[in-house]
Structure 1
Amino acid sequence: ASCFCPTIVPVTPPGSLTVCSRHTRTPPSLGCVREEAMADQAAALVALAQENQALTHTVQQLNDVVAALQQRLDAFPDPGADAPAPGKYPVALPEKFDGTLASFPMFFAQAKLYIQGRARNFPDDRTKVHFLISLLKDQAAKWALPLLRQDSPLLTDYVGFCNHLETVFGNPLKESQANRAIRQLRQDKSTAAAYATEFRLLAQDLSWNDSALRDQYLEGLSDEILDQLAMMDRPTTLDALIQRSLQIDDRLEDRRQARDHQHSRLLAPVLPSRSTPTAELPVEPTQLGAARPRLSPSEKTRRREGNLCLYCGGSGHYARSCPKKMPVAGKPPTLVAEGPSNMGSQSMQEGPSPVELRHLMVPVRLYPPGEPWILTQALVDSGATRSYMDAAFAAHHQVPLQNKPEPVQVEAIDGRLLRSGAVTRETQPLVLCLQQHREVRTLDIASMPRFPLVLGMDWLEAHNVQIDWVNRTVHFPDPCPHALSEMLAAAPTEEAVPTLPAVYRHYQDVFEERGADQLPPHRSFDCGIDLQPGAPLPVSRLYSLTEPEREALQDFLRKNLERGFIRPSTSPTAAPVLFVKKKCGELRLCHDYRALNKITIPDRYPLPLISELLERVQGAQMFTKLDLRGAYNLIRIRAGDEWKTASGTRYGQFEYLVMPFGLCENRPPEPGVPPDHPQAEPKADPVGVVLFPVPVSDPLHP
């Protein structure tokens, strides 16, 4: 081969031979090095071209595979064609699970729901398992870490992974625990809705049939709902039974709220009539020529609970005696009820009232048949020929109604017929109580938005009620034969106690409970309360009560108002009430009279010596133990001292006409010693009588 590289020919003598350095052992020249570099680059370009050709062939093969897969995918229906986009699916991402056993059921259900809702995002088992593992943290993540390191077969088995996950973090005792919990579940004071929700949550972990679940659901229901269900056809499915119990509970709750509302209105002032022009009313100094704004319901409640004035918000007085209020000429009406002659005439002072003088309103209690008792106000109207009940009021309280034998046309004062038409409905016979007066009567139903009840001329004539317009008082006759005969006819007859021995039959009236429920007469040993001169009257706040205590308070007020042992009060002082549980589990109502007792002058009447009492019974062979029924209620509060016994409740303020528990120095007088002659010597009695007065303990400091 010829050499084309340039050669530097040295100067040699003539006749010498010159050769290339490539063919010699001498160092290469600069041109030869460049030739070798170009040859290497050419070889590298050839290799890259071959590699590029191979990659192009591989890409073509991958495109063919993708096209084949797309054709196979298009052959199947799209499960998420109608579903929202993955990013907008309404299922929320579950919170991460930390290994807490209690939260596992909810986490597991939410995770499976998320996977089902976004099926397009999880085409195979591996993606589903990886997604579940990504939701684990803390202890749960530590459990899954070895599965990833070992490339466990569970990573490609979604069902197997879920079963293994539930075995590790699930509760193996959930059925036995649910069995035990559902047998102990009771409604108690909760609502039927809350009870049903808890019952369903426990039932889902049980394998009971529908019949067993129905029986267990009935086992935990409250007695009130069970009593109502007993009068109906029992539902045949659990869902129907739960729905029926919810309807009954809602009805009972409506009745309780209506009853509480009526209790709160017992002493609520009646709104004055707006038909009188405002120019005729005196302008109060605080009005400054404008109408005084009404108090909000929350502010009214705050002032009532704090025994504050509803007019100015101050303490120590009430709105009807507020010093900032301009007095109005005239005297508000006072209700007076005279009882039977053997009980003495008793004045039921209702105190001042903000009702306009031309309206005579009286508090009444209604006892509809089969419904809760109702407290409301009635208008005494001599211009009405009959007695009426407002139609809306009757509907709200579910007062039982009946059709009148004949429709009655109602005329206005000018003789025109009312637009509402004839009266065709009336109440079923109900008991109407007005202080000590009771009667059974029916009331016509008419539309009277301003007054719930109207007592008209038929009621006034039947009782011959007398109104003293000078003193603003209403008097009932003594006694009232009309109401007495109706009450005796309506009252159930009580049979004599069959266990009463024949020797005591002559004293049968002593053992009857009715005598203990009657207001005793005033006597010489009435309980008096003498206060220290100039001592400030205590003002106390209400104590909070539980739901059972509020129900017991309502029952106490209802019974004692019926008996006449208490009455509404406008006393400037009031003691709070509280309850103490008896050994038998019942609640005893107590009054916190400690503040009143501090300013009461104590009665130092000497107590008998126990040693002397024992001497009197020494040698006796027969003893009789008698338990006086309601002993404290057999003694009256001294006339004029009733306001000192006032107690404040959320349903109003009431004062006692009989001796209550909690007053200092309250004890029955010793037999044989008249209170008006404390030094008189008792007469000798062959029969020893020992009276053990029950001490009144302080419920706050037993």
Structure 2
Amino acid sequence: MWVRKLNQTMTEPSSQSDPAEPPHNTSLDHALIARHDSMLNALVDQQRSTNQRLEQLSDILTALHQRIVPADPPPVAAPPASFQTGVSAAPERAPPASARLREVSPPMPEPYTGEIDRCRGFLLQCSLVFSSSPQSFQTDGAKISFVVGNLRGRALKWAEARSAQHNLFHRTYDSFVLEFTQTFGYSESPADISRSLLSIKQGNRSVADFAIDFRTLAAASTWNAGALTGAFLQALNEDLKDELALRDEPGSLEELVALAIRIDNRIRDRARAKKEPSFAPRRTDFNPIPANQTGEEPMQIGRTRLPPEERQRRLRSGACLYCGQVGHYVANCPSLLKARAPRGSTPKPTAKLSD
């Protein structure tokens, strides 16, 4: 009996809905689906916009990186094996000169100890380091720290005392340089430079050495080219001025300096050549006087020359040029033979000239 009831329950059609289940609202489902679609579309658009911005930022970073770090040259492809057989490989091409120049960095400045004449040169070397590595010195504090790190001696003592009074690194670099130059870098006024140009002299220096000091003063002055040319000429030594007076007047200061250097070098070369010892053999007397000779002689050949008038008189009268007597010549002069003969010997008699 219970089986028959169960079969009826199982075979009963299920097309009838449960009265407890609420009926489906089709319009509400379509609205939810449409809302979800619109939200997904908005998210896709937002993601696309974000991706575009990321690509732009990536391009900007790549461009900045290429400006800071030079790009490596592309590697040279190796030739095929068939081509390498019996043929030497071509040398790799060197990177362009511009790429090599970018890698050169200025040397570190020499430590500054407080010399007045080195102050501005030291700051100039520091500025070269700043220009070569701008990414390392982006703040004024980094620049001031670099300068202070290269101070020694009394310059470092000044920085130490200045840092104890105020914070030395929380200020602009220009104000630091101004105070630094006021302390160590005395700058000459235009009047001081003019007095130096008027008083400078060549002295014992060469013109090439003197021109360096003159050009240094000229670069710091406000004089025109004509005034500088006159001042340079006035500062030269007198002998060099005499040589320049014989030449055509140069057209500019640089031409005058170059001409003066050439003339000065030639004058110095001639002076050195005159001072060098001569190795030529000395001329000896044709008839030297013996060392054992005593007394004075009427004439010493090779040591004392006859006056021109006396020589002409003896030649006209036929007298001996040695003793001045008539009747013989120098070759048979008894006085000369006696002087040349060894001590204790008797000179040979000489033949007198017949009248």
TM-score, normalization: structure 1? 0.27
Name the residue aligned to 2:130: 115
| Residue from 475, 478, 494 that aligns with 2:311 | 478
Question: Within 5 A, what are the aligned runs for 1:525-674?
Answer: none
Q: What's the C-alpha RMSD, in Å, of the aligned pairs? A: 4.1
2:112 aligned counterpart, secondary structure: coil
Residue 83 of structure 1: how far off its partner (Å): 5.9
In the alignment, which residue of structure 2 is the partner of 1:257?
272
Which has the higher Rg, Structure 1 or Structure 2?
2
Aligned to 2:210: 195
Residue 153 of structure 1 corresponds to which residue in structure 2?
171
Among residues 226, 232, 236, which one is paired with 2:247 in the alignment? Answer: 232
The residue that corresponds to 1:142 in the other structure is 160
Which letter maps to 1:106?
G
Change in Cα spacing, 1:194 to 1:124, as seen in structure 2 (3 Å) is same
Partner of 1:637: none
In 2: Cα distance, 1:185 partner to 1:114 partner? 35
Distance 1:178 1:232, change over 3 A: same
Amino acid of the residue matched to residue 222 of structure 1?
Answer: N
Structure 2 residue 334 is matched with structure 1 residue 334? no
1:588 is aligned to: none
**What are the within-5 Å matches in structure 2 for residues 311-322 of structure 1?**
none
Taking structure 1 as reference, are residues 436 and 132 closer, same or farther at Cα in structure 2, changes over 3 Å only? farther
Aligned-partner Cα distance in 1 for 2:218–2:212: 10
User: Which amino acid letter does the alignment assign opposite residue 302 of structure 2?
Assistant: M
Quick one: structure 1 residues 333 and 133, their matched pair in 2 at CA, closer, same or farther if it must change by over 3 Å? closer
Contact 1:98–1:141 (CA under 8 A) maintained in structure 2: no
Structure with greater strand percent: 1
Q: Tell me the number of residue pairs that the alignment of Structure 1 and Structure 2 aligns.
A: 220
Q: For residue 247 of structure 1, report the CA deviation from its aligned partner.
A: 0.3
Cα separation, partners in 2 of 1:250 and 1:199, compared to 1, 3 Å: same
Distance 1:129 1:178, change over 3 A: same
Contact 2:145–2:169 (8 Å) recurs in 1: no
Deviation by residue 1:22-68 (Cα, 9 ceiling, x = unmatched): xxxxxxxxxxxxxxxxxxxxxxxxxxxxxxxxxxxxxxxxxx99x95
Give yes or no for contact 2:137–2:143 (8 Å, CA) kept in 1: yes
Paired with 1:112 and 1:192, the residues of 2 have a C-alpha distance of 33
Query: Retained in 2: the 8 A contact 1:210–1:237?
Result: yes
Contact 1:178 1:205 (C-alpha < 8 Å) held by counterparts: yes
In structure 1, how many angstroms separate the alpha carbons of the residues matched to 2:299 and 2:249? 54
Q: Cα gap change, 1:114/1:83 in structure 2, threshold over 3 Å: closer, same or farther? A: farther
Aligned to 1:347, which of 269, 283, 301?
A: 301
Q: 2:334 maps to which residue?
A: none
CA displacement at 1:167 relative to structure 2: 3.1
Percent identical across equivalent pairs? 21
Q: Does the C-alpha gap of structure 1 residues 94 and 151 become closer, same or farther in structure 2, counting only changes over 3 Å?
A: closer
Check 1:124–1:163 CA distance in 2 against 1; reply closer, same or farther (3 A cut): same
Paired residue type of 1:199: F
Query: How far did residue 220 of structure 1 move?
Result: 0.8
Assess if the C-alpha contact under 8 Å between 1:133 and 1:144 holds in 2: no
> Hey, what's the Cα distance between the residues in 1 that align with 2:107 and 2:116?
22
TM, length-normalised to structure 2: 0.50
> How big is the shift at 1:248?
0.4
What displacement does 1:235 show?
1.5
CA distance in 2, matches of 1:437, 1:124: 94
Post-superposition shift, 1:257? 2.1
2:60 to 71, 78, 82: 71
Q: Distance in 1 between matches of 2:174 and 2:62?
A: 24
Structure 2 SS opposite 1:93: coil
- How far apart, CA to CA, are the structure 2 residues paired with 1:222 and 1:169? 35
Q: Give the Cα separation in 2 of the matches to 1:75 and 1:123.
A: 15
Matched, 1:105 2:123: no
In 2: Cα distance, 1:242 partner to 1:175 partner? 23
Deviations 1:219-278 (Å, cap 9, x if unpaired)?
1101111111111122222211111100000111122122223xx21xx3539xxxxxxx
| C-alpha contact 2:141 2:169 (8 A) present in aligned 1 | no
**Taking structure 1 as reference, are residues 226 and 239 closer, same or farther at Cα in structure 2, changes over 3 Å only?**
same
Structure 1 residues 257 and 75, CA gap change in structure 2 (3 angstroms): same
* 1:129–1:161 contact (8 Å) kept in structure 2: yes
User: In structure 2, what is the equivalent of residue 216 of structure 1?
Assistant: 231
- Report the equivalent of 1:270: 281
- Secondary structure of the 2:311 match is coil
> Shift in Å at residue 123 of structure 1?
4.0
Separation in structure 2 between the aligned mates of residue 120 and residue 210 of structure 1, nearest angstrom: 42
Note if contact 1:80-1:120 (Cα within 8 Å) is conserved in structure 2. Answer: no
Q: Distance between the aligned counterparts of 1:99 and 1:131, measured in 2? A: 16
Gap runs ≥5 in structure 1: 1-63, 272-331, 337-343, 351-434, 439-476, 481-702
Contact 1:98 1:139 (C-alpha < 8 Å) held by counterparts: no
Letter in 2 for 1:100: E
For residues 62 and 161 of structure 2, the distance between their equivalents in structure 1, rounded to whole angstroms, comes to 36
- Partner AA of 1:334 in structure 2: D
Matched, 1:186 2:201: yes
Check conservation: 1:174, 1:205, Cα contact below 8 A.
no
Q: Which amino acid aligns with 1:270?
A: P
In the alignment, the residues of structure 1 paired with residue 225 and residue 233 of structure 2 have an alpha-carbon distance, to the nearest angstrom, of: 12
